[in-house]
Amino acid sequence: MRYKDENKNEAIFKATIQLLNEIGFSDISMKKIAKRANVSSSTIYVYFENKEDMLSKLYTNVKQHLSQKVLTGLEEEMPIKVAFEQVLRNQIEFIFNHKDEFLFLEQFSNSPLIKNLCIEDHSWMFQPLFDLVERGIEQQLLKESDTMLLLVLITAPITDLAKMQFNGEFELNEKNISDLIQMSWDAIKR
C-alpha cells in the first residue's frame, strides 16, 4: 500500500477545481486531472476509488472550508445583528479570496451530479448559522419564518452579485457591501 501525501491530495483537489471551472464536468477526466496536478493517473487511485468518489470528497472538502470561513468569529453571545453582519462579510470574503472554490460550488450545486453521487447533507456544517437565525426568531428580532427561507434570502443576493462582478457587470465595493448587508437585514428583521 502506498503512503498518502497530503500535498498530492491537495494538488489533485486544486487541479480538479481549476479544470472543472475551465472545461466543466462533461470534459473532465482523471487523466487530465493527473496531468494538471503533476501526478500519475495511478496516483489518483491511491487517494480515491474513482472519479465519483473524488468529486464527492472534493465537494465535502470545499463545503467544509466554506463553513469554517463563514463561521469565523461567530460567537453565541454576539448580538444577532452583529453576528449577522459578521457572517455576510465572511461569506463575501470567502467568495473573493477563494473564487475557484466558490465557482466550483456553484457549478457542482447546480449539476445533476449532486443527486447522482448521493452527496450527503452538509447542513450540519452550518449549524451555528441555523442556530443564529433561530435565536433571532426567538428573540423576536427576525421574521417568524422557515430558517432556510431566511438564510436563502440573505445569501443568494451575495452569490448573484459576486458572479456579476466576476463577469464585469457589477462592482461589489465597500459601499455596495454595506448597503447589501443593510438591505438583507431589513428583509429578514421583524
- Higher-confidence residue of 84 and 28: namely 84
Domains parsed from the chain with CATH numbers = 1-47 (1.10.10.60), 62-188 (1.10.357.10)
What pTM does this model have?
0.89
Q: How far apart are CA 185 and CA 101, in angstroms?
A: 26
Q: What's the pLDDT score for residue 43?
A: 87
Which three cell numbers, joined as nine digits, stand for 27? Answer: 470534459
Flag whether pLDDT at 121 surpasses 80.
no
Rg for the chain, CA atoms, rounded: 19
**pLDDT tens digit sequence for 159-171:** 999 999 999 999 9
Q: How far apart are CA 74 and CA 79, in angstroms?
A: 10
Residue 27 binned pLDDT confidence (cut-offs 50, 70, 90): confident
Percent of the chain, pLDDT > 90? 72
